[in-house]
Structure 1
Amino acid sequence: MMIRPELDYYAVLNVSRDAPKEDITLSYRKLAIQLCPHRDPKYERDFVSILGPTHMQPLSLNRQWEYINMAYDVLGNDLHRAIYDRFGEAGLFQGIQLPNGYFPPYQYHGDHMKVYHDVFGSYSPYANIIDIVTNPPLLYSTLEHGIGVRTKDPPVEKIIYLELEEVFKGCTKLMHVWRQEFLDSKEERTEKRKKTLKLKIQPGTTPGTRFCFKEEGDRSPTKIPADIIFITADKPHPAFERSQHHNLVYTHNITLKDALVGFSFTIRTLDKRSIKVNISDVVNPDYIKVMPREGLPICENIPIAPDMRPAGVKKKKFGDLIIKFQVEYPKFMTNKMRILTRELFCELQELQKEAEEAPHPIHGLLQKKGSKPH
């Protein structure tokens, strides 16, 4: 069997073995601009021809394209690179037993465009270059700060707590924020003013939903306003707790007597209805009662365009109401009560033993049919 020589990924990307990840990415981007088979001819004349041939020129363009993507898939991943640096391509492909676990054999997925898209964030290798030409950066020019490029402030994130009743029905929230605003047309002087932002909360909105108001932050002569982002969270509720996004959990306290002989009770729902619940089973520690479609509405994305919305009235989907039980034991018992309770459980154990030892009706019937006459 012929052994294939190992591929030097650093040589493929034309970087040194101690090159930082930024240099590896930059080298990949330069090579991808030249080798991408899907490049647009109208940009190739402007950007590719001035770069000249690559250092892998004797190889075909398709083979070079394959090699640079595989090389970056390895060197662009910190773990894969560490395994390759220490054990070479053979260790990478065969797998290595490490002190903290086993590193499984690496296998390149073969999707060159996936690597390409992960690096460029686009399927065009000229995206960054074209964006600068078509959307030049915003500049500022003031007597105080001179001339420069406006940079965008980092986003401002705020938590908005919602009552479960608001989540159930949906609501509109008016959020008041204070921000710096310009006082003159020259955009030189600013003052703190109140801005009201409107949030449309859909029924069933889940915790962690982000509402982004683009560039609604402070105005500044040298900055692009920050995005203001509201992130939803649930307020604690006295009766219910959300579970798995759209289910509700309700915990009901019962006595030991109720747990053994059965009981009924009523739950007041988030939309002010009353649900009567009857329990005839013995309530053990793991017992739960599920009421289908009595949870929170399931939030669905509906197309904004009127002609794309489904015809007719669509029935809403709901999660479930899950009822759990907390058994309260008596705090004291008299001797007579203890004796009676002991007798009760002894009798219960005897009944269970008799039920387990009694032949099944079907088994008895089969035995009767199979027996020989005397």
Structure 2
Amino acid sequence: MSRDYYEILGVRRDASKDEVKKAYRRLARELHPDVNPDPVTQERFKEVTQAYEVLSDPEKRRMFDMGVDPFAPAGGAGGGPGGFGNAGFPFDDIVNAFFGGGATGRRGARDRVRRGRSIKVRIELDLAETAFGVTKDVTFPTAVLCDTCQGEGTAKGSHRETCDMCSGRGEISEVARSFLGQVMTTRPCPQCAGQGTVIRNPCPDCAGEGRVRETVTRKVQIPAGVEDGTQIQLAGEGEIGPNGGPRGDIFLEVVQRPHPLFERRGDDLHCTVAVPMTAAALGASLTIETLDGNEEIDLRPGTNSGHVITLDGRGTRHLNAPGRGDLLIRVNVETPNKLDEEQEALLRKFAELRGEDHPPGKFSPGHGNFFSRLRDAFNGSR
């Protein structure tokens, strides 16, 4: 055997269960970490506890007497006479195949320090802020390091203790019967949740978690060119992990507020300007609002409704690239729907001068008026 548990407890191989218990209690009183906290004594205490766990359990003791050490490392069969080790019996392979785990020493205690949760925060921005970038204060609830225990989770003056149920291994062993015989399996220790240590005196501020909930405010730089739905990752700025673990991430989701004038399509901006019929016919100079301020544009004479004027480089900035999109202005020509007598007379005179007082009307091919369609239908039926 790599370790003789009878020798560790100082009992004979035919010792009774009560003799094993008495030997363990005597050694535990001498070696307990509360009495002798030095590392050497703690290792000795772990060995004694492992020995007692094996020899106090009839099934584990029987397997140990057959040459199987339940707490041996990978390949954990012993080398005693008649033991599985001499025969080259693949004990751990069988355990892995049927129970999904190996001997106890293969996994060990779980890491109690885990990464914190990532946070998703929605941030509302105006069109100009998304176009040119901005620095914003973002407020959100999160988990931060407990100042009282600095992430340890223990009360002042106390420390984590080795779990007495699993002796710090984070797992407990069980013997299961199968068609192969008795097979050792392991599961996380229910007392320490697989961590190997327990908190007897938790921190009063964080209740042993090592972190507390707070609402924090962070300054965040929003790059130019983001748009509605863009997500910005801030690595390592999220919640701190349990027991002082590393932080998660923050994911900022951009929500762009609607603009009263402009509609954004990619990096281009679109808007509509209404002009009177006379300005469209004669031409005019218009003052147009842009993200950079007001600009003067010339409306050429004879502009029709639906005409688009493009201002290059007046859109939003490209994200992670130089340059900007364009501003596209659609002209909507308004026809007056209410005229006084003088205006009507002048307009009729204007129509007469242009020969438009009796307009014939223009129809696209295949789209005649109602009477022409009726005539064609009548002639076709003859």
* TM-score band, normalised by shorter chain: 0.3 to 0.5
Higher CA-based Rg = 2
Structure with larger RCO (C-alpha < 8 A, sep 6+): 2
Instruction: Judging by fraction of residues, say which structure has more helix.
Output: 1
TM-score normalised over the length of structure 2: 0.42
